[in-house]
Amino acid sequence: MKKYSMLGNHKGKVAYRTPSVFRQKVSRVVRNISPGRTLSYKSVAEKAGSPRAYRAVGNILSQNYDPKIPCHRVIRSNGSLGGYNRGNRNKKNILKKEKAFRDGKI
C-alpha cells in the first residue's frame, strides 16, 4: 500500500508525497485564485503564512497534478510566466482564455 497521501493525478501520473501543513495551505490559497486573476509565487507564500517560502511554493506546485488546483494562475513576481507541467506555451494559452492577459502582459 501507499505510505503517503495522494495529491492528485494526471493521465496516470500520480504524485505521492509526505503530507505537510504548508502544502495544504498553499493548496488552499491557489484553489481560491479566481479565473482571470493571477498571483506570484511570493504572494502565494505570503498568503500561506510563510512570506519567504516562495521557492518552496514552486516546488510544491511542480508536484501538483490535481486539476482542482489552478497552478497555471501562479506566475513570477516580475510578470513572466514561470514553469508549467505541460509546457509554458500551454500555460500562456490557458491564461489567455481566462483573459488574464492585458496587452500582452499579465
5 contacts DNA (rule: CB under 7 A): no
> Is 106 among the residues that bind DNA (CB under 7 A)?
no
Does the footprint of DNA cover residue 82 (CB under 7 A)?
Answer: yes
Instruction: Tell which one of 29, 38, 41, 106 touches DNA (CB under 7 A).
Output: 41
| CA 16/CA 4 separation, integer angstroms | 6
Asked if residue 95 binds DNA (CB under 7 A), the reply is no
| φ/ψ of residue 8, rounded to 5 | 155, 175
Q: What is the dihedral of CA 32, 99, 73, 94, to 10 degrees?
A: 120
Which of 3, 30, 28 has the alpha carbon at shortest distance from 16?
3
Instruction: Count residues binding DNA (CB under 7 A).
Output: 32
Q: How far is CA 27 from CA 5, 43, 105, in A?
A: 14, 13, 25
Interface pick for DNA out of 27, 33, 64, 95 (rule CB under 7 A): 64
Which of 55/99 has CB closer to DNA?
55
Residues lying near DNA in the complex (CB under 7 A) are found at: 17-18, 20, 22-23, 40-42, 50, 52-64, 71-72, 74, 76-78, 82-85
Which active-site residues does the annotation give? 71
